[in-house]
Amino acid sequence: MKRLLRPLLLLAALTALLSVSVFADSGVGTGFFDIGRADGVTITPDGSGRIDVIWGDSAEGDTSTLYQDSEKLTVKLSGTEAGKHYFILLTTGDSVNPTEENMFYVDQQTATGATTTFTVFPKQGLAESGEMTSANLFITSNADGFVTRKITLGYANSVPYVEPDYILGDVDLNKTVTVDDALETLQIVGKLNNSPTETQLKAADVDKDGSVTVDDALGILKYVGKLIQDFSEIQA
Ligand SMILES: [Ca+2]
Ligand SMILES: [Ca+2]
């Protein structure tokens, strides 16, 4: 009986593991994703909220941040000078040169104060159904010494995704990122935890350099302390 029990237990464990991967949450994503950053620019997408996704049909691959059902971006530019003109331009594809074909939105505002707000609302679909595109948002001005900003972003139209089986930074896998996760990471680094799972190691590598180090623990602390909004800020 004892000899039979072990393989049975293994089988049960294996079945549990398999069913987890089979039933990973999946869906279809439409909206802006992986919105980059630039000095003095805050971008707030509309839509039904942000989710971490891995594009395609497997839970292996890079995680993207999708703003589900977003169609508009509220773009706030700080440090503007009253009376100066500010232009915003949205282009798709990898080319940085705006042309008639790749330009999807353009707007101009005359600043009335230190903050100027744009609503970027492309009236035409940025990508065909089932496809995604990379895009660039440019902000420029006739103000003296203004540095043109370029922000990269993505747009998906009805593209299948799988939700990752972990949240980046959630090392103890309890679905939230807290100080405990930084401590857990330090325990992995200091070999106090000698048996972290593959999933824990992936969740702990917040700077995505392929290994779990003190930098990852510090990154989690920065995130918890809101010194960074997103782990992409500490990724190379
Ligand atoms: Ca956690
Ligand atoms: Ca790392």
How many whole angstroms from 185 Cα to the centroid of ligand 1? 11
Contact 219, 234 (CB under 8 A): yes
Neighbours of ion ligand 1 (CB under 5 A): 170, 172, 174, 181
How many whole angstroms from 188 Cα to the centroid of ligand 2? 12
How many whole angstroms from 223 Cα to the centroid of ligand 2? 14
Q: What letter does residue 232 receive in the DSSP assignment?
A: G
pLDDT of residue 184: 97
pLDDT of residue 29: 96
Sheet (strand 73-78) strand order: 41-45, 73-78, 115-120
Q: What angle do CA 87, 93, 97 make, to 5 degrees?
A: 50
pLDDT of residue 3: 67
* Nearest CA among 87, 76, 70, 86 for reference residue 34: 70
pLDDT of residue 12: 66
pLDDT of residue 216: 97
Q: In a 3-state reduction of DSSP, which class is residue 22?
A: helix
How many whole angstroms from 68 Cα to the centroid of ligand 2? 28
How many whole angstroms from 104 Cα to the centroid of ligand 1? 40
How many whole angstroms from 64 Cα to the centroid of ligand 1? 20
Query: Whose structure tokens read 């009376």?
Result: 83
Please count the other Cβ atoms lying within 10 Å of the Cβ belonging to residue 15: 10
14-21 long-range contacts (CB < 8 A, ≥24 apart) are 20/165, 21/59, 21/165
Q: What is the pLDDT along the chain (236 residues), one digit of tens a residue?
A: 556 667 666 666 666 555 544 456 899 999 999 999 899 999 999 999 988 899 998 877 788 999 999 999 999 999 999 999 999 999 998 776 778 888 999 999 999 999 999 999 998 889 999 999 999 999 999 999 999 999 999 999 999 999 888 889 999 999 899 999 999 999 999 999 889 999 999 999 999 999 999 999 999 999 999 999 889 889 88
Contact 143, 135 (CB under 8 A): no
Residue 189 burial class via C-beta count within 10 angstroms: exposed 0-12, middle 13-18, buried 19 and up: middle
How many whole angstroms from 203 Cα to the centroid of ligand 2? 10
How many whole angstroms from 64 Cα to the centroid of ligand 2? 18
pLDDT of residue 21: 47
pLDDT of residue 22: 45
Q: Which residues, at least 6 apart from 25, have a Cβ–Cβ distance to it below 8 Å?
A: 162, 163
pLDDT of residue 57: 87
Q: H or E segment at 140? A: strand 131-141
pLDDT of residue 224: 96
How many whole angstroms from 176 Cα to the centroid of ligand 1? 4
pLDDT of residue 235: 86
Q: Which domains does the chain have, with CATH numbers?
A: 26-162 (2.60.40.150), 179-234 (1.10.1330.10)
Q: Which ligand is nearest to the CA of 181?
A: 1
Q: H or E segment at 157? A: strand 149-162
* Nearest CA among 227, 231, 236, 233 for reference residue 204: 231
Q: CA Rg, the chain, in Å?
A: 22
How many whole angstroms from 206 Cα to the centroid of ligand 1? 13
Contact 60, 99 (CB under 8 A): no
